[in-house]
Amino acid sequence: MEASPEWLALMIGNSHLHWAYFEQNILIKTWQTNHDSITNFPENIPLYLASVVPKQTKFFLEYPALKLIQLTDIPLKNLYPTLGIDRALAVLGSGENYGFPSLVIDGGTALTFTGVNQNQELIGGAILPGLGLQFQSLSVKTAALPRLNLPQSLPNRWAINTEDAIASGIIYTLLSGITSFIEDWLKQFPNSKIIFTGGDGERLLSYLNEIYPDIANDCKFDPNLIFWGMRSLKNR
């Protein structure tokens, strides 16, 4: 693909299309659209695309300046074939921007942990339902429990109404799990960077800071890790 001063990055996620517009290596803006939305842009602008939703990918395959990113393009070691391209790009972007070793905690539709050591080898990770999905599942799968919005700050741990009880149960349990993963990772890699990303990443880090400030102080939020990973690939 010929070099171009401007290019687009697109990450097709489970819930949205995540876009970025670059001029050379400078990120100018980001935005997101729904899966069924129509986005028009000049066909001569290179489009770097990664996807975790194959049925959405097919809508872009005829684009003339397409660079479809595959897991085999990621210059990290020990990647397993079913590793999500979003996780691989995010931890690559974290390492390229902040250094290795690196642990990425992605608060998206799924909450994922992905760790890479100083030799850029995948150590491993974990996947569980994300914050929003956990709130949604209780209202969908039960007859009497309500659908709630995520609270801006931590609820009382010992709740005296149903809404706060749901929020307490989900959030405090999730934060305990996140803390356990971080502490175990830092035992192995005490100098590691820990980066939160994803749609709920900033809120999770804010919650964490309220009850575990010492741990939160070792962490950073960056919503653009996947795009930094794409930029790294483009520059190789």
pTM across the whole model:
0.92
Say yes or no: 45 and 116 in one domain.
no
| Per-residue pLDDT in tens (0 to 9) along the chain, 236 residues | 445 589 999 999 988 999 999 999 999 999 999 988 767 677 789 999 999 999 999 989 988 899 999 999 999 999 999 999 999 999 999 999 999 999 999 999 999 999 999 999 999 999 999 988 888 877 666 655 566 677 888 999 999 988 888 889 999 999 999 999 999 999 999 999 999 999 999 999 999 999 999 999 999 999 999 999 999 999 98
Residues 212 and 127 in one domain: yes
Same domain, residue pair 119 and 193: yes
What CATH number corresponds to the domain at position 29? 3.30.420.40
1 in a structural domain: no
Same domain, 30 and 126: no
Whether 86 sits among the annotated catalytic residues: the reply is yes
Structurally, the chain folds into a number of domains equal to 2
| 3-state DSSP of the chain | CCCCCEEEEEEECCCCEEEEEEECCEEEEEEEECCCCCCCCCCCCCEEEEECCHHHHHHHCCCCCEEECCHHHCCCECCCCCCCHHHHHHHHHHHHHHCCCEEEEEECCEEEEEEECCCCEEEEEEEEECHHHHHHHHHHHCCCCCCCCCCCCCCCCCCCCHHHHHHHHHHHHHHHHHHHHHHHHHHHCCCCEEEEECCCHHHHHHHHHHHCHHHHCCEEECCCHHHHHHHHHHCC
Both 108 and 214 in one domain: the answer is yes
What range defines the domain where residue 106 resides? Answer: 101-222
Catalytic residue among 86, 106, 200, 222: 86
- Say whether both 199 and 134 belong to one domain: yes
Residues 218 and 121 in one domain: yes
